[in-house]
């Protein structure tokens, strides 16, 4: 599950040089393997599945007996003698009406069963996806677009579910219809069956060829739609920046391009997909024509009665119709298979590596943190950190500074074990963090990020997020320490005020104060701040720092700072450059060295016009 210690932002940013976001990768499997896996979701609802099969078969059989009865009614008419056996005609007509009514009732019941099964399947599939999403490593979300993932959970799941709940059972119903119709025709006029020995193989070979052509098109359609959703999600989240820079026309142009690609992919896939039905229908009509021609010859020769010929023609339509339907279903299944590949790509995505069998719980945390000769790279061959070593004493405040790309955020990723080091060790209280459970390690930290995250709920719930069971007194104390209590008190519902849309109704600075209060409430021995006060004014920043220093007394703190004036009181400052600690010490000692830290500080000092 998601770790409650990640209480500042949403997911932690990947930091430096982790590569570009990509579309969701899928592995292509055979149709048989895909059907087998999809069928497993139907198998989880065995009772409903068995009931659906019984209703489907019963409805089909009742409907299929109608042509047989109509043939008997026609045979009851003796045209040359001008005599009609009305009792037989009325009996057959009554049975036909009864059977068709029962078939209709059973079909209605089948639809009700399928609606319930459809609901359960979509619910289970989305549960499986989201359950795995919560177990995936941070690196997964660093690589793939959020919009693409959302597209899978919504559109692709619905596509797969529709095929599971309708297409597969309709396919089974068609198989029943074809099988029964075949044996009925065989019992009526075996000679006419020869016609289908030529037309059916042609339809089968054509459908198989077209399936191989169409499936990649539907796969591309799903991918393009996912890319479009990812773009829309990205643009909507940054709409203020777009408006501020006047880039509406450029964004609209890019949207039109991606929208055009998605529409084109949809059009091409559907265009080729719809070829299957009319083509198979053409072969079916050819079959019917041949049946009528040769059937008439047999009738004239007295080898078949008129009623039997009528029944045979009706069964031939029922025989060819489902084949046509199956062709259309197969075309629709190509879309479902493409969507299922993306669904299973999420379900099968490799979760975060499990803790080692002998992993221990991190208990009685003192906050002694040390990195020994650590090297790390997001992309093999492109090191971000090389041979980094430092030691943070319990209760100390360690500041991490350096230019963009120096590896500041990467250090935090390694401390929280969002990524594992390539070589070296990260120690907490003298224990290698790879020998500890991730849950206990991350519970030992609280985190406040520059990118705030608030969920829809009350202010109380947002502050108490990291500490289930927190009392109102504790929440109020944390809010006062974060200098946000007075603002909350002025709101109409106070701490019961509902926040929505990531707290869009309040300012960024106020959202930051809420996340800082959330961190203050959490009983963690170590604290990580990534420019946590960047969205508040200088006076409030000083107040928060003073309150935080008092509240976090005796706890180990790590601060990523870009404004060096804010970390002059740090117990220890790590100066990073090119993934290595080039200097470390207090502000005074580093300034006295007149090295790289001095240059950074002076550059900011001059830039601020001081």
Note the pLDDT tens digit of each residue in 417-463.
988 999 999 999 999 999 999 888 988 888 877 777 787 788 898 88
Residue 78: what pLDDT? 62
Length of the chain: 610
Tell me whether strands 556-560 and 526-530 are parallel, antiparallel or unpaired. parallel
Contact 133, 153 (CB under 8 A): no
pLDDT per position as a tens digit, 203-242: 777 777 877 787 788 878 878 887 887 788 777 767 666 7
The predicted structure's pLDDT at residue 28: 62
Cβ contacts of residue 281 below 8 Å, gap of 6+?
A: 324
CA distance 311 to 309: 5
Edge to edge, the sheet with strand 369-376 lists: 385-392, 369-376, 423-428, 431-432
Q: Name the most confidently modeled range: 93-102, 336-345, 537-546.
A: 93-102
529-540 confidence digits (pLDDT tens): 877 666 566 666
- Average pLDDT value for residue range 541-547: 64
Q: Which residues, other chains included, contact 279 with Cβ-Cβ below 8 Å and sequence gap of 6+?
A: 206, 210, 327
pLDDT value, residue 328: 65
Average pLDDT over residues 273-288: 74
Count of Cβ atoms closer than 10 Å to residue 606 Cβ: 9
Is-contact 68 184, C-beta < 8 A?
yes
Answer yes or no: are the C-beta atoms of 600 and 583 closer than 8 Å. no
Q: What is the pLDDT of residue 49?
A: 84
- Which of the 8 DSSP states describes residue 507? -
Would you place residue 548 in the very low, low, confident or very high pLDDT band (cuts 50, 70, 90)?
Answer: low
Backbone angles phi, psi at 78, to 5 degrees: -95, 95
> The sheet that has 572-577: what strands, in order across it?
445-448, 526-530, 556-560, 397-401, 572-577, 580-585
Q: How far apart are CA 146 and CA 549, in angstroms?
A: 36
Rounded to the nearest angstrom, the gap between the alpha carbon of residue 29 and the centroid of all alpha carbons in its chain is 19
What angle do the packed helices 276-300 and 196-237 form, to 10 degrees?
A: 160
Contact 288, 238 (CB under 8 A): no
| Residues 326-349: tens digit of each pLDDT | 766 776 777 788 788 888 888 888
* The pLDDT of residue 316: 78
Q: Check whether 507 has a pLDDT greater than 80.
A: no
Nearest-5° Cα angle at 533, 529 to 539: 140
Instruction: List, in order, residues 6 or more apart from 365 with CB less than 8 Å away.
Output: 428, 429, 444, 525, 526
Check whether 299 has a pLDDT greater than 80: no
Residue 77 has pLDDT above 80, yes or no: no
What CA–CA distances, in Å, run from 62 to 35, 56, 102, 168, 170? 29, 10, 7, 21, 16
Q: Higher pLDDT residue, 285 or 576?
A: 576
Q: Is 80 or 473 the better-scoring residue by pLDDT? A: 473
DSSP state string for 159-192: HHHHIIIIIHHHHHHHHHHHHHHHHHHHHH-GGG
Whether the per-residue pLDDT at 143 is higher than 60: the answer is yes
Answering whether pTM is above 0.85, one says no
**Domains with residue ranges and CATH for the chain:** 31-347 (1.20.1560.10), 359-444+526-610 (3.40.50.300), 450-523 (3.40.50.300)
Concatenated DSSP letters of 36-61: HHHHHHHHTTHHHHHHHHHHHHHHHH
DSSP 421: -
- Mapping DSSP onto H, E and C, the string for 336-399 reads HHHHHHHHHHHHCCCCCCCCCCCCECCCCCCCCEEEEEEEECCECCECCEEEEEEEECCCCEEE
Q: Has residue 304 got a pLDDT over 70?
A: yes
SS (H, E, C) 542-562: HHHHHHHHHHCCCCEEEEECC
How many degrees, rounded to 5, is the angle at CA 57 between CA 181 and CA 122?
A: 125
Q: Compute the average pLDDT of residues 24-30.
A: 62
**Number of Cβ atoms within 10 Å of the Cβ of 341:** 24
CB under 8 A, 24+ apart: contacts of 454-458: 454/499, 454/502, 454/503, 454/511, 454/514, 454/515, 455/499, 455/502, 456/498, 456/499, 456/500, 456/501, 457/498, 457/499, 458/493, 458/495, 458/496, 458/497, 458/498, 458/499
CA distance 487 to 495: 10
Alpha-carbon Rg for the chain, nearest whole angstrom, is: 35
Which position has the token pair 């006419």? 192
Q: State the angle between helix axes of 508-521 and 538-551 in degrees (0 to 180), rounded to the nearest 10.
A: 10
Of 375, 382, 401, 409, the closest CA to residue 15 belongs to 409
pLDDT at 510 over 90: no
Sequence-distant (6+) residues with CB within 8 A of 327 are 203, 207, 276, 277, 279, 280
Q: Alpha-carbon distance 308 to 74, whole Å?
A: 8
Contact 311, 71 (CB under 8 A): yes
Interacting residues of 511 by C-beta distance below 8 A, sequence separation 6+: 452, 454, 502, 503, 535
């Amino acid at each position: 599950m998601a770790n409650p210690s990640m209480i500042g932002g949403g997911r932690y940013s990947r930091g430096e040089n982790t590569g570009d976001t990509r579309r969701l990768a899928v592995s292509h499997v055979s149709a048989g393997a895909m059907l087998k896996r999809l069928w497993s979701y139907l198998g989880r609802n065995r009772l409903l599945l068995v009931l659906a099969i019984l209703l489907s078969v019963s409805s089909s059989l009742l409907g299929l007996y109608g042509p047989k009865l109509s043939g008997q009614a026609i045979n009851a008419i003796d045209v040359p003698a001008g005599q009609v056996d009305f009792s037989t005609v009325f009996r057959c007509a009554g049975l036909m009406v009864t059977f068709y009514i029962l078939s209709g009732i059973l079909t209605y019941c089948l639809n009700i069963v399928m609606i319930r099964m459809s609901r359960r399947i979509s619910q289970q599939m989305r549960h499986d996806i989201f359950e795995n999403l919560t177990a995936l490593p941070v690196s997964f979300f660093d690589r793939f677009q959020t919009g693409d993932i959302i597209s899978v959970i919504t559109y692709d799941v619905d596509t797969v579910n529709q095929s599971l709940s309708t297409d597969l059972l309709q396919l089974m119903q068609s198989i029943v219809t074809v099988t029964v119709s075949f044996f009925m025709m065989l019992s009526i006029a075996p000679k006419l069956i020869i016609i289908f020995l030529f037309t059916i193989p042609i339809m089968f070979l054509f459908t198989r060829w077209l399936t191989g052509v169409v499936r990649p098109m539907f796969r591309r359609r799903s991918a393009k739609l996912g890319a479009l959703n990812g773009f829309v999600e990205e643009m909507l989240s940054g709409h203020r920046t777009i408006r501020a820079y006047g880039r509406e026309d450029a964004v609209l142009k890019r949207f039109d391009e991606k929208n055009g690609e998605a529409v084109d992919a949809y059009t091409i896939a559907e265009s080729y997909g719809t070829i299957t039905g009319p083509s198979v229908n053409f072969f079916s009509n050819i079959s019917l024509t041949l049946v009528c021609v040769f059937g008439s010859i047999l009738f004239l020769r007295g080898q078949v009665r008129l009623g039997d010929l009528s029944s045979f023609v009706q069964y031939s339509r029922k025989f060819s119709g489902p084949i046509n339907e199956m062709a259309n279903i197969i075309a629709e299944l190509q879309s479902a298979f493409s969507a299922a590949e993306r669904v299973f790509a999420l379900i099968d995505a490799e979760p975060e590596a499990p803790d080692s069998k002998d992993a221990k719980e991190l208990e009685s945390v003192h906050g002694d943190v040390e990195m020994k000769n650590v090297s790390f790279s997001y992309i093999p061959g492109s090191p971000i950190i090389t041979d980094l070593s430092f030691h943070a004493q319990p209760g100390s405040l360690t500041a991490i500074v350096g230019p963009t790309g120096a590896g500041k955020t990467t250090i935090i990723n390694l401390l929280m074990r969002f990524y594992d080091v390539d070589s070296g060790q990260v120690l907490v209280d003298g224990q290698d963090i790879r020998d500890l459970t991730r849950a206990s390690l991350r519970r030992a930290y609280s985190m406040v990020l520059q990118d705030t995250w608030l969920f829809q709920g009350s202010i109380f719930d947002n502050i108490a997020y990291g500490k289930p069971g927190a009392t109102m007194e504790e929440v109020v104390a944390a809010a006062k320490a974060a200098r946000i209590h007075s603002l909350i008190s002025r709101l109409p519902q106070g701490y019961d005020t509902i926040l929505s849309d990531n707290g869009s109704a309040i300012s960024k600075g106020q959202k930051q104060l809420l996340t800082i209060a959330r961190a203050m409430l959490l009983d963690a021995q170590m604290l990580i701040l990534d420019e946590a006060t960047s969205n508040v004014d200088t006076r409030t920043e000083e107040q928060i720092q003073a309150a935080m220093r008092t509240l976090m007394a005796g706890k180990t703190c790590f601060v990523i700072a870009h404004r060096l004036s804010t970390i002059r009181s740090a117990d220890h400052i790590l100066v990073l450059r090119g993934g290595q600690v080039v200097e470390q010490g207090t502000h005074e000692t580093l300034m006295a060295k007149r090295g790289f830290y001095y240059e950074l500080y002076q550059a900011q000092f001059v830039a601020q016009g001081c």
